[in-house]
Structure formats: C-alpha cells, structure tokens
C-alpha cells in the first residue's frame, strides 16, 4: 500500500470514526461491522474503525474484526498522541490501540501552536516529543503509522515554521503517511492549493501526503480535489459526507470526480457502479434519511423535471447529464410535478409500461387531476405507485381488488399501565362480499393495516409477503389559518420490489390509511401483472 503510480490514489474512509460525530447519528457495533464489510466490498483500501481508547464500543468492534477479518481493506485504529509529561508505553490509550490488533494505526497530533499551549496546556517542544515518542513506540510494537496533522491549515497560517516542524518530526519518527487536516473546515480551495504546494516543497521528496477536509465552508470536496492536484495521494472522507457540524468530505462525490473526471484510480471501475447502493446502504444502517439531492448518488441527481428539457434529454442524454448515471449505479428519472408538461406524463407512462399518446384525451385529464391533487397537498414525486394508480384510473384500467366501506380505531392508555393499545375494526367489500374484521396492533396504523390484511388474506394470500418498510409523515403548514394537513408516504415491498404511495388529510390516521390501502392495492396489481406475464410466456 504505497503510492507507486502517479494515477493511483488511496481512499481512507472515516465514516465509522469522524462520520459518527454527526449530530443525530448513532451506531451499534453490529451497524459498524455491517458498514465496514460493505466498504471492504466496495474496495476502499483504508477503513478507520474508531478510537478504542475513548469508547468501549470501539474496542469490541476491533475484537470482532480480529475474529472475522475483512477481505482486503486495512482496518485502522485511531488515537491521539500520548499525554504530556507521560511515557508512551504507560499511556492507557496507546495500550488500547495496540489491543485493537490492527496493522495500521492513525495517530493525530497538534499542528497549531495555540492548540498546544491553550488546548493541551503544554510546551511546543513537549508536543514535538509527544508526536515522536508515540510514533516511535507504535513502530517498535510493529505497527505502521498514518499521522493526522490536526488543524494543519490554521496552524500553518499562524506559525508555518512550527507547523512544518511537527510534520518533519512525524516523518522522522517513522510515519508512512502524513495527512493534512482542515479540522475546522475554514480553508478555501485556493489556500489549499497554495499550502499543499508549500508542504510538498518543504518536506522530504518521498513523503506520502494525505488530505482530510471538512465542509464548514461548503468546499470540502473542492478542497480535497485541490490537494490531490497539488500532489496528495491519500484522500480521507466519509460516505454521504457524514461528520461533525457540516460534515466531512463526501467520498460519494470525491470518488467519481477523481475517477471519472480527473483520471485517477481510487477503486476498481467495476466497483464504482456500486457507489449509489453503498451510499443508500450506509444511510439505511445509520438510520438517516438519504440526501435525495446528493451529487452523483442522490435520487434527484439525474431527475428531469421541466417539460421541454425532458424531450431533449430523451433524445440525447449527454447534453443534459454530466456523467452517465449508470457509471455510479444511479439512474435517470423523469419526475412528475406541478410543473409537468405533457411530455413528462408521457415519459412517465412509458416507465410504467402504459401506452399513452398526447392525442388521448386521458392524458389531459391526468395532468388536470395531478395539478388538482397537488394543490391539495399531494405529492407524487416520491410516490410513483400512487401516480400509476391515478393514471390507470383515468384510463379506466384500474383493477378493483377491494373497496373500504368504513373503519373504526380505538386506543387507550389505562391508569397505571405503561403502554397503550390500539384496536381497529374495518369493513371491506371484496369479490362481492362484505367482510368485517378487527385486529389490534402497537399503534392505530398498525392495527388498521392488520385488520385490512386479515379481511383480505383469504381472497389474496399473496399479501402475506407484502411488508410495510417505511412510513414518513410531513405536516403541511398552510398559511391560511385553517387546520394543518398531514402528508403520509408509505413504502411497501414484496420479495423483489419496493413501491411508495401517498395519502393526505387533516387527520394523520386517514392520510396513513389512504397510503396503506393504496400500498396494498399496488402490491396486488404487481402480483396480478406477474401472474399474467407468466401465463403469457408459458402459453407461447
């Protein structure tokens, strides 16, 4: 793992350490292991796993990886330099990092004189000794060392001589990589270019440099690119740009920029197409909603909305897309919205496999219906399944699987008991029969869903394999003073597909019920289409 080709870069992922500093993000050991294995599969060479000295959860994480190692990636343990006025061998944090049992360790040390005197409250000389002792000690224990120069850019601006001395100390103590960190994220790209160029000149020729940027100036990705173009060979960042405050440099943007636009090699080309999936996997595991507008991997990154534009993009995608979405595993998407022109509706119909042309009066009717519902608060941009049902309705091609006649839901919290209970009763007309069923559940929506499934399961046994996988609620604040409306998006899945439906009402329960009911209906539609396809193909 040394820089032997001028076009090879080393990606260093710190999602599991710096990324977890993001406000609102917390992960279990199990989550961290799943993410590490996924990054390994993507071909990331260095994965920083955590700070074993600071966090007992991280100690166990490294032990798990000793038992079941990663395939290819180096898992890296992170730690500060030894404490002032102590010896490295006696520092419990350094014992913890050795116990992690990794080949590589990252040691972070102070570059900025102010942080030494005010933060650590020690002398500039002692800080150099701390860097040297720590690295030498870890080398003597057989570890390979990456040195993270914390607050490098601010430190260099304040006191360049001292800052450079810290790097030279780390190099002579045996660090194999020197990563320059813009810890506060305040540096702009032109300063990055200038300072990295200065460093390259000031340190020994064969030193391998890395870059670690934060997004406080909204330029973390550009800063890392500037550093690479000035000679850096290791790029540190996180999946989805997770990290403290405004986040770290986003590897999901950096890797395609470096590899597709600048001609560097970061991961195998064949792996690059797993990037979008990896981004979504990580957001799912850490339980944060994906950023739909993220560059390259966001759901909207290759979405086309304006009418004119959509016809043009279908003729020649290169004129409206900076890369081919498939290169990063993403896809082009035609969006339905208030601004939709006729050509969007037609393009969308094609993706549903519905034949529609602009002379069909139903096309205009669909557009009108869409606009009317959107003005009531519906939104179909994220609810394709509901839009397909609407389109089928207008075309007289919506299959009737069942009809809800009414429902009741009852919840109570009894004095002295800890939990509430919900019971739902539902009346459904299905295949010319009226079915009345009741069910309970953890909450009113779950109870309603259970009662409906109970009413339908004898008629449609396939609903047993549908599952409600996500449920999102948005309060639509009208400025009119009337009661706020609630929009609910429900994501459902069967064993091989996912679909999303929408409901809107002033009553959260009714909005949920609309979306749940359409979710079941759409699942039944998919099932009947699959059966029809099967019988056609076996008939030929």
Using CB under 8 A, which residues numbered 132 to 151 contact its own copies? 151
Per-residue burial over 105-127, b if 16 or more Cβ lie within 10 Å, else e, is bbbbbbbbbebbeeebebeeeeb
Residue nearer to its own copies on the CB measure, 30 or 268: 30
221 binds its own copies (CB under 8 A): yes
C-alpha span between 487 and 490 (Å, rounded)? 10
Handedness of CA 287, 293, 298, 304 (dihedral sign): positive
**10 Å Cβ neighbour count for 307?**
16
Handedness of CA 475, 499, 309, 300 (dihedral sign): positive
185 binds its own copies (CB under 8 A): yes
379 binds its own copies (CB under 8 A): yes
Q: Which one among 293, 397, 431, 457 touches its own copies, defined by CB under 8 A?
A: 293
Residue 503 beta carbon to its own copies: minimum distance, rounded to whole angstroms: 12
- Residues 49-68, interacting with its own copies (CB under 8 A): 55
Residue nearer to its own copies on the CB measure, 171 or 325: 325
Pairing of strands 433-441, 421-430: antiparallel
317 binds its own copies (CB under 8 A): no
- Residues 450-489, interacting with its own copies (CB under 8 A): 469-473, 475-477, 479, 483, 486
- Please give the DSSP secondary-structure letter assigned to residue 479: S
Residue 22 beta carbon to its own copies: minimum distance, rounded to whole angstroms: 7
Residue 335 beta carbon to its own copies: minimum distance, rounded to whole angstroms: 6
Q: Which one among 19, 45, 49, 189 touches its own copies, defined by CB under 8 A?
A: 189
496 binds its own copies (CB under 8 A): no
287 binds its own copies (CB under 8 A): yes
CB 5 within 8 A of CB 227: no
- For residue 361, what are its two tokens? 């009066």
- For residue 320, what are its two tokens? 């409206």
- Of 167, 278, 295, 280, which Cα lies nearest the Cα of 222? 295
Q: Is 492 helix (H, G, I), strand (E, B) or coil?
A: strand
CB 273 within 8 A of CB 328: yes
- Residues 424-453, interacting with its own copies (CB under 8 A): 427, 442-446
Residue nearer to its own copies on the CB measure, 257 or 500: 257
Encoded one letter per residue, x for contact with its own copies by CB under 8 A and - for no contact, window 16-45 reads ----xxxxx-x---xx--------------
327 binds its own copies (CB under 8 A): no
Pairing of strands 485-493, 467-476: antiparallel
Cβ burial, residue 293 (10 Å; 0-12/13-18/19+): exposed
Residue 421 beta carbon to its own copies: minimum distance, rounded to whole angstroms: 8
Residue 472 beta carbon to its own copies: minimum distance, rounded to whole angstroms: 7
Report the Cα 352 to chain-centroid distance in Å. 27
Residue nearer to its own copies on the CB measure, 83 or 527: 83
Residue nearer to its own copies on the CB measure, 167 or 297: 297
CB 13 within 8 A of CB 251: yes
Residue nearer to its own copies on the CB measure, 1 or 404: 404
C-alpha span between 314 and 269 (Å, rounded)? 26
Residue nearer to its own copies on the CB measure, 160 or 443: 443
Cβ burial, residue 434 (10 Å; 0-12/13-18/19+): exposed
Residue nearer to its own copies on the CB measure, 57 or 527: 57
C-alpha span between 92 and 411 (Å, rounded)? 54
Residue 351 beta carbon to its own copies: minimum distance, rounded to whole angstroms: 16
Residue 540 beta carbon to its own copies: minimum distance, rounded to whole angstroms: 39
- Residues 253-272, interacting with its own copies (CB under 8 A): 253-254, 257, 261-262
Q: Is 508 helix (H, G, I), strand (E, B) or coil?
A: helix
C-alpha span between 219 and 188 (Å, rounded)? 7
- Residues 510-529, interacting with its own copies (CB under 8 A): 510, 513
Stretch that binds its own copies, among 38-46, 84-92, 392-400, 408-416 (CB under 8 A): 408-416
Stretch that binds its own copies, among 95-103, 139-147, 412-420, 449-457 (CB under 8 A): 412-420
Q: Which one among 7, 86, 103, 245 touches its own copies, defined by CB under 8 A?
A: 245
- Of 274, 272, 340, 334, which Cα lies nearest the Cα of 304? 334
Residue 393 beta carbon to its own copies: minimum distance, rounded to whole angstroms: 17
CA-based radius of gyration for the chain: 28
79 binds its own copies (CB under 8 A): no
415 binds its own copies (CB under 8 A): yes
Cβ burial, residue 100 (10 Å; 0-12/13-18/19+): buried
Q: Which one among 33, 146, 149, 509 touches its own copies, defined by CB under 8 A?
A: 509
- Of 113, 213, 120, 117, which Cα lies nearest the Cα of 157? 113
Residues in the interface with its own copies (CB under 8 A) total 114
- Residues 80-119, interacting with its own copies (CB under 8 A): 112, 114-115, 118-119
Q: Which one among 300, 324, 360, 494 touches its own copies, defined by CB under 8 A?
A: 300
- Residues 380-399, interacting with its own copies (CB under 8 A): 381-382
Residue nearer to its own copies on the CB measure, 98 or 517: 517
- Give the CA dihedral 242, 247, 252, 255, nearest 10 degrees: -130
């Amino acid at each position: 793992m040394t820089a032997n080709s001028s076009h090879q870069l080393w990606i260093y992922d710190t999602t599991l350490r710096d990324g977890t500093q993001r406000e609102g993000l917390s992960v279990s050991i199990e989550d961290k292991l799943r993410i590490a294995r996924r990054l390994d599969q993507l071909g990331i060479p260095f994965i920083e796993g955590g700070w074993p000295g600071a966090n007992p959860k991280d100690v166990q994480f490294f032990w798990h990886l000793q038992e079941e190692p990663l395939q290819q990636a180096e898992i890296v343990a992170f730690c500060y330099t030894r404490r002032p006025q102590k010896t490295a061998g006696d520092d419990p944090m350094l014992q913890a990092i050795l116990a992690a049992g990794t080949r590589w360790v990252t040691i972070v040390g102070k570059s900025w004189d102010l942080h030494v005197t005010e933060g650590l409250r020690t002398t500039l000389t002692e800080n150099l000794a701390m860097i040297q002792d720590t690295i030498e000690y870890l080398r003597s224990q057989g570890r390979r060392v990456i040195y993270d120069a914390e607050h490098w850019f601010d430190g260099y601006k304040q006191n360049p001589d001292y800052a450079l001395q810290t790097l030279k100390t780390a190099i002579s103590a045996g660090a194999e990589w020197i990563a320059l960190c813009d810890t506060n994220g305040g540096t702009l790209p032109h300063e990055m270019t200038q300072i990295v160029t200065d460093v390259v000149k000031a340190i020994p020729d064969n030193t391998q440099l890395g870059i670690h940027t934060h997004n406080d100036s909204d330029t973390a990705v550009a800063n890392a690119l500037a550093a690479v173009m000035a000679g850096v060979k290791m790029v540190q960042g996180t999946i989805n740009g997770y990290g403290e405050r405004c986040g770290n440099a986003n590897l999901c943007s950096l890797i395609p920029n470096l590899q597709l636009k600048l001609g560097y090699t970061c991961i195998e080309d064949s792996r690059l197409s797993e990037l979008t999936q990896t981004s979504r996997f990580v957001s799912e595991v850490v339980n944060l909603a994906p950023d739909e507008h993220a560059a390259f991997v966001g759901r909207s990154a290759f979405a086309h909305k304006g009418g004119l534009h959509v016809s043009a993009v279908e003729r020649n995608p290169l004129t409206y897309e900076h890369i081919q979405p498939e290169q990063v595993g993403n896809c082009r998407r035609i969006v339905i919205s208030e601004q939709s022109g006729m050509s969007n509706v037609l393009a969308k119909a094609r993706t549903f496999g519905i034949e529609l042309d602009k002379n069909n009066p139903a096309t205009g009717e669909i557009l009108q219906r869409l606009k009317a519902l959107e003005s009531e608060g519906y939104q179909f941009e994220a609810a394709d399944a509901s839009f397909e049902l609407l389109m089928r309705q207008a075309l007289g091609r919506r299959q009737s699987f069942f009809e809800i006649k009414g429902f009741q839901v009852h919840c109570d919290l009894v004095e002295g008991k800890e939990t509430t209970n919900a019971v739902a009763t539902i009346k459904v007309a299905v295949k010319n029969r009226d079915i009345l069923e009741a069910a309970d559940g953890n909450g009113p929506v779950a109870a309603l869903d259970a009662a409906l499934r109970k009413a339908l399961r004898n008629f449609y046994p396939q609903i047993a394999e549908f599952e409600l996988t996500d449920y999102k609620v948005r309060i639509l604040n009208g400025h009119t003073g009337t009661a706020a409306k609630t929009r609910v998006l429900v994501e459902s899945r069967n064993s091989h597909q996912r679909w999303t439906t929408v409901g809107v009402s002033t009553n959260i329960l009714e909005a949920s019920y609309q979306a749940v009911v359409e979710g079941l209906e759409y699942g039944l539609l998919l099932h009947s289409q699959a059966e029809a396809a099967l019988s056609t193909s076996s008939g030929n």
